[in-house]
Amino acid sequence: MFTKILIANRGEIACRVAATARRMGIKTVAVYSEADAGAKHVAVCDEAVLIGPAAAKESYLCGDKIIAAAKATGAQAIHPGYGFLSENAEFADACAEAGLVFIGPPASAMRAMGSKSAAKQLMEKANVPLVPGYHGDQQDADFLHTQADRIGYPVLLKASAGGGGKGMRVVENSTQFKDALASCKREAISSFGDDKVLAEKYLQRPRHIEIQVFADTLGNCIYLFERDCSVQRRHQKVLEEAPAPGMPAERRAAMGEAAVAAARAVGYVGAGTVEFIANQDGTFYFMEMNTRLQVEHPVTEMITGTDLVEWQLRVAAGEPLPKQQHELATHGHAIEARIYAENPEKGFLPSIGTLRHLGTPDAVAFELGGMAAALVGARTAADTGHREAGHAAAAPAPVRIDSGVRAGDAISPFYDPMIAKLIVWGADRKQALARMAQALAQYQIVGLSTNVAFLKRLIEGQAFASADLDTGLIERNHDSLFPPAQPAPTGALALAAAALLSAESSPVSDPWHQTRGWRLNQSYARKLAFSDEHTAYDTHVTYRPEDWLFSASSAAPQTLTLRAHDGDSYHIQLGDQSAHGTVLRDGDTFHIFSNGAHYQLTWNDPMAHAGETEAEGGRLTAPMPGKVVAVLAAKGQEVKKGAALVIMEAMKMEHTIAAPHDGIVDDILYSVGDQVSDGAPLLAFKAA
C-alpha cells in the first residue's frame, strides 16, 4: 500500500479523499492555486504545494506542475478526484512515465470511453441498446442539421468529450438547430477543448439511472447497484438516491450486468459509472461511461457499507477487490442533495461571496471503513425489520456532510459553486425523505444565495416524494417549486425586532446612553421599518418596563417578551404564540432562520445615511464576473423583448443577457473575449 499520495483536486472531493487516506495511515499532499491558499483541503492534508494562479488552466489543469509536485514531495501515486484531470488520458500516461501510479483507469479505457461518439460505437458492437442518433465524426453544421431532421425533434446535442451537463442543448425544432449547435460548440470548446458533438433523440420523461462498477487488475469486475439521478437542472444533477425507486430485481441485474460488460469491453480498472437513460416502461439505453469516481458516490457507500475511495486505493496498489458480487446487497435508502451557491429563482445563476455564517445539521464525519464495513451508528428497533440478509445490525449515521468549505471561506467565480453534499440514510425511502427535509431545515447560510430552500421544496413536493421521477421533474413542477414570494410572517418580524431591541438594550454604565426607551410621563413608541426584496414592513413597538407591545402593519398590538437569548438564538413570546429562531445581523440586514425557513430583512435605519444611489437605468449589466463569448446585437439595432443580446461565460456555463423589453441598442460596451466584472454594464439600451 502507498505511504503517501498527492490529491490533484480541490474542495470537497480533496477533503473526502484525504479523510480515507488518513484513516488508512496514508500521508497526503494537497495542491492549490493562489485563490485556494486558505482553503479547507489545504488545511486537512499533511503537505501542500502551490501550483499556480486562480484560473484552473494555469493551476489544477497543469499536469506537469502536479507531477512535479508529486515527485518533489515523494508521493507514490496521484488521486485525481473528479473533474479537472480525472478523465485526461494524457495525464494518466504522463503519471506512468514519471513513475507515479494514477489512481484511476488505464489511459486506454479513458480514451475508449472519453469520446461519447466512440463509446456508443463500441457499445453498438457489444449489442448494448442505444438511443437513436448520430455518433459519427462528420461535424459539418448542415450535415448535423440533416441528421437532426432525420432523427426527429426534439433532439439533444451533446459535446462528445463532455460531462457534468456542459455542452448540452435540447433543440425543439429545426429552426432552432443552428443557433443551438453554435452555442453547444462554444461551450464544448471552452470546457473540454473539443467542439465535436453528437445528436440523439431526446426522450420524453426519461429517468437517468447509473450503475457503479468496480474492477481490479486481476480480472475481477462487479457492480455496486444503481443510483437514480433523474432530478436535474441545466442537465446537472440536483438530487441523487440509491437504490432507484421502483427498480425490479430483474432489471437491476440486467443493468448491472450490462454495465460490467461495458467495463470489461475496455479493460477497465478502478471505479467507474455506466450511465443509462430509461423510459418509464423500464427499457433502458446506454448513454456514456464516466471513467472516474462520481460526485454522487456517497449514496452508494451508504447503502452498501463500503468506502469507495479505499477500494480505489487498494485496487491501484494491485490488491484484489475487497468483495465479490454475491457478497454485496443493498441496505436501506440514501439520498444526496447538492447544496450550491446559486439563485434558483434567477435561473440557477451561480452566486459569489463569502460564507459569513455556516450552520449545519448534526452530522458525523465520514467514517465508513470499506474493508471492515464499519457502519456508523446503531439501528433502531424499527429499522431492524428492513435489514437484508447478510448485513450486520449496525446502520450508517443518518446524516453525513461532505464539504470543502468553512465559515469565512469565499465562493469564487473560478470554480464550481458547490458548498456541500448533504447525504442522509434511512431504513427505507420514506425515512430518508423525512431525514433529508429535517436536515435541510437546519442548514443556515449567510453571505450568498443558495438552493437550500429550493431543495426543501423538491424533497417535500408530491412528485419527488411519490417517486414520479424523470429528468424534466423540475420544469414539469415549476409552479409548485417556484411559488410566488410570500411576505415574511409576523413571527419573523418579531424575532428581528427582538434581536434589534435587545442589542440596543444592553447595559451601559452611563445613564444618558441608556436606550431602553424610558420616558418620564409616557411610554416610548417607535416605528421599525423593515423590507425584503418584495415587501416593505412597518412594525410598531411600545417600550414597557419588562417587555414591549409589538404590531406589524395594521394588526392589533401584542405583548412581545424575550424569553431566552443565547448568542444568536432567540426565544420570544408574541401574544399567546411562542417562536424560536436564529437571528444573524450583517450590518442592517437581519437573517432570521425559523421553522425551517430563512427570511432576509433589511432594517431601514432612519439615522443612517443613504450612501448609495440607484444604478443608472438603461444599461444591462453582467450578472457575475465572466467573459463575453458572443455579441448578438449591433449598435443602433432595434430588438424585441427577450431577444438575446450578449452571451457571457461564467462558472463554466453560458449566460444569455436578453432585452428586457422592445428597444434600441444604444451602445456596445464590450467585445468578444473581454473579461467583465460583476455588475459591469455590457451595453446601453433604451426603450423603442
Which residues are identified as catalytic? 292
CB-based contacts of 52, cutoff 8 Å, min separation 6: 33, 34, 58, 59, 62, 65
102: enclosing H helix or E strand: strand 101-102
- Selection from 269, 316, 309, 271 nearest residue 290 by Cα: 271
Give the whole-angstrom CA distance, residue 363 versus residue 396. Answer: 11
DSSP H helical ranges for 266-369: 297-304, 308-316
Give the whole-angstrom CA distance, residue 29 versus residue 176. Answer: 48
- Count of residues in the chain: 688
Give the whole-angstrom CA distance, residue 301 versus residue 295. Answer: 12
CB-based contacts of 507, cutoff 8 Å, min separation 6: none
Q: Which three cell numbers stand for residue 359?
A: 450552520
> What DSSP state is assigned to residue 547?
-
Q: How far is CA 222 from the centre of its chain?
A: 28
Q: Number of C-alpha atoms within 13 angstroms, CB side, residue 209?
A: 29
CA distances to 223, 330, 556 from 258, rounded to whole Å, are 10, 19, 68
- Selection from 514, 507, 467, 460 nearest residue 483 by Cα: 460
N-to-C CA span, the chain: 71
Contact 66, 37 (CB under 8 A): no
Contact 523, 583 (CB under 8 A): no
